[in-house]
């Protein structure tokens, strides 16, 4: 029976519900999952769905590594893994901590009967999965999202090598597929788009016709979310005499500056930062709002969202959305059909679009119904993870065929 190892930089993470949703869907379909985390959790709040995951979690050593740990791990792996020392050339240039974790993961994977590695994000998790897979003769795949593709820190040669060596590569939007094919040519022919899915029974649609004049935004308080523009848009709405409340759910490095902005604009009565909340409360906030605002941008460092899960959730729940044309967002938010599109960085168009939705129940309902239909057609978690399991299966079959030929 296949046993799939999910290799993650940190597990769990408050903002990465898409990973948990994916694992839960695989487990519901009977797939045997193991989770290997390169770092301990760094968040103070966690989503309640994490308790539903059955997969055991192993934290690979990261802190307190010394020369003795290093060589002891290598010597033990040299005994457990055929051709280990001959394969060490593949680790040339790899950070020593990534290399040690890959060595330890390879040995553990052999002991625990792992048949396939899958990593999320094409950064350290994929670095470790790639090397561990090579040392242990186990195939690997990975999902590339956004920062790991577009950020200024991405090394093109490194990403191209990871794509080339993988049995398959998943990414979360057609935009990403096009970008990778344009950038990496023949190596990226194996890249396929599989949207992050939702468990739609948890995200029941309700009509936005009678909702109070509330705006909601959800996400980490970092540059690419551009909540400062939303606050500026709220100032415009306030000056126009529009009755509204705006709730921003989340936390992050820019929280202090956003609170200062709210105070400076005298918007304490209209705009509230709610902090991180459990998923059920996030759902309640979204579904009690007349507008979901997602004024996302491409950051100065190239960082951006791939296809934000919170936007998908709002569309599923019947909350009409206003967003921008960042990466894969236009694939789901079609201006005037499934939501309203506004330019990046601009508060006035954002305020105008929000005002349209606050003032027109019929427009809210029209957009929300179309958005829900699109989500049902393309973002069912069971359908999307079925495609992913097909990738895992074909990878395992290919690896077994190679072993038979080699034997």
What tens digit of pLDDT does each residue of 217-231 get? 999 999 999 999 999
pLDDT at 65: 67
Same domain membership, residue 222 and residue 251 = yes
Same domain membership, residue 219 and residue 150 = no
How many domains does the chain fold into? Answer: 2
pLDDT band at 1 (very low <50, low <70, confident <90, very high): confident
Residue 216 sits in a domain whose CATH number is: 3.40.50.2000
Q: Is 4 helix (H, G, I), strand (E, B) or coil?
A: strand
Pair 114, 34: CB distance under 8 Å: yes
The CA-CA-CA angle for residues 398, 399, 403, to 5°, reads 120
pLDDT band at 397 (very low <50, low <70, confident <90, very high): low
Same domain membership, residue 143 and residue 52 = yes
pLDDT band at 266 (very low <50, low <70, confident <90, very high): very high
Name the packing angle between helices 96-111 and 67-80 (round to 10°).
40
Pair 392, 336: CB distance under 8 Å: no
Q: What is the average pLDDT across 177-185?
A: 96
Q: What is the average pLDDT across 40-60?
A: 87
Same domain membership, residue 274 and residue 163 = no
Model pLDDT for residues 282-333, shown as the tens digit of each residue: 999 999 999 999 999 999 999 999 999 999 999 999 999 999 999 999 999 9
Across all residues in the chain, what is the average pLDDT?
93
Count the residues in the chain. 407
Same domain membership, residue 363 and residue 261 = yes
Model pLDDT for residues 340-349, shown as the tens digit of each residue: 999 999 999 9
pLDDT at 396: 63
Same domain membership, residue 301 and residue 368 = yes
**Cα(327)–Cα(350) distance, rounded to whole angstroms?**
18
Same domain membership, residue 155 and residue 85 = yes
Same domain membership, residue 206 and residue 176 = no
More confident residue, 75 or 3: 3
Same domain membership, residue 387 and residue 360 = no
Model pLDDT for residues 63-108, shown as the tens digit of each residue: 766 666 677 877 887 777 888 888 888 888 888 889 989 999 999 9
Q: What is the average pLDDT across 195-217?
A: 97
Per-residue burial over 309-323, b if 16 or more Cβ lie within 10 Å, else e, is: bbbbbbbbbbbbbbb
Pair 36, 108: CB distance under 8 Å: yes
pLDDT at 405: 33
Same domain membership, residue 49 and residue 81 = yes
pLDDT band at 404 (very low <50, low <70, confident <90, very high): very low
Range of the domain at 65: 3-197+381-406
**pLDDT of 402 higher than 70:** no
Same domain membership, residue 302 and residue 193 = no
pLDDT at 406: 38
Same domain membership, residue 326 and residue 264 = yes
Query: Of 361, 293, 355, 296, nearest to 324 (Cα)?
Result: 296
């Amino acid at each position: 029976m296949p046993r799939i190892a999910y290799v993650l930089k940190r597990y769990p993470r408050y903002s990465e519900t898409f990973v948990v949703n994916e694992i839960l869907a695989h487990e519901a379909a009977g797939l045997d999952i193991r989770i290997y985390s390169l770092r301990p959790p760094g968040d103070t709040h966690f989503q309640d769905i994490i308790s539903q995951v059955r997969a055991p979690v192993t934290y690979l050593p990261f802190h307190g590594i010394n020369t003795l740990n290093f060589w002891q791990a290598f010597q033990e792996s040299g005994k457990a893994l055929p051709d280990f020392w001959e394969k060490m050339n593949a680790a040339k240039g790899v950070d020593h901590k990534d290399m040690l974790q890959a060595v330890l993961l390879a040995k553990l994977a052999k002991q625990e009967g792992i048949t396939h590695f899958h990593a999320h994000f094409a950064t350290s998790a994929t670095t470790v999965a790639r090397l561990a897979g090579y040392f242990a003769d186990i195939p690997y795949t990975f999902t590339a999202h956004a920062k790991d593709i577009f950020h200024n820190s991405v090394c093109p040669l490194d990403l191209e090598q990871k794509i080339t060596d993988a049995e398959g590569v998943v990414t979360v939007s057609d935009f990403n597929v096009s970008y990778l094919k344009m950038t990496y040519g023949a190596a990226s022919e194996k890249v396929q788009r599989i949207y992050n899915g939702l468990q739609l029974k948890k995200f029941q649609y309700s009509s936005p016709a009678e909702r109070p004049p509330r705006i909601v935004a959800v996400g980490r308080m970092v540059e690419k979310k551009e909540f400062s523009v939303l606050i500026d848009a709220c100032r415009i709405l306030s000056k126009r005499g529009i009755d509204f409340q705006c709730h921003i759910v989340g936390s992050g490095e820019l929280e202090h500056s956003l609170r200062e902005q709210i105070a400076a604009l005298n918007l304490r009565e209209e705009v509230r930062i709610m902090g991180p909340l459990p998923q059920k409360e996030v759902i309640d906030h979204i579904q009690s709002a007349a507008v979901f605002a997602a004024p996302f941008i491409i950051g100065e460092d190239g960082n951006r969202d791939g296809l934000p899960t919170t936007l998908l959730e709002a569309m599923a729940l019947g909350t009409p959305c206003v967003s921008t044309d960042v990466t894969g967002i236009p694939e789901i938010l079609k201006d005037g059909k499934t939501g309203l599109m506004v330019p990046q960085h601009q508060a006035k168009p954002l305020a105008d679009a929000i005002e349209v939705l606050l003032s027109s129940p019929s427009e809210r309902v029209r957009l929300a119904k179309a958005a829900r239909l699109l989500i049902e057609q393309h973002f069912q978690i069971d359908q999307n993870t079925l495609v992913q399991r097909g990738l895992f299966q074909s990878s395992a079959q290919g690896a077994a065929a190679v072993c038979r030929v080699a034997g």
